């Protein structure tokens, strides 16, 4: 069977669609991209790392608040 052959180096992992930790990570990465990375350039990976750490410190001091999940389940037709 193609999918069970280990030489293909493909691993399928089931992740639930509304996984709360995954949604939080997606929200945080979206904030990081929109507020820091989009339309930016960095001279080195060290500069990028320092800018990201500075942004995280600033964000945590001034804007951080808990992410609130809004998914309440699927509507039951019956």
Cα separations (Å) of 47 from 32, 43, 55? Answer: 15, 6, 12
**pTM of this structure:** 0.58
pLDDT in tens, 27-45: 889 999 999 999 999 999 9
Instruction: Indicate the Cα dihedral angle 13, 16, 21, 27, nearest 10°.
Output: 100
DSSP structure class, residue 65: -
Whole-number pLDDT of residue 58: 96
Domain extents for the chain? 2-62
Assess contact for 2 and 8: CB atoms under 8 A.
Answer: yes
Q: State how far the Cα of 57 lies from the Cα of 66, in Å rounded to an integer.
A: 16
């Amino acid at each position: 069977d193609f999918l069970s052959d280990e030489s293909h180096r493909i691993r399928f992992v089931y992740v639930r669609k509304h996984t709360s930790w995954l949604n939080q990570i997606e929200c945080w990465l979206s904030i990081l991209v929109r507020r820091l990375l989009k339309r930016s350039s960095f001279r080195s990976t060290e500069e990028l790392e320092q800018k990201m750490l500075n942004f995280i410190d600033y964000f945590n001091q001034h804007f951080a608040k808990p992410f609130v999940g809004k998914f309440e389940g699927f509507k039951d037709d019956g």
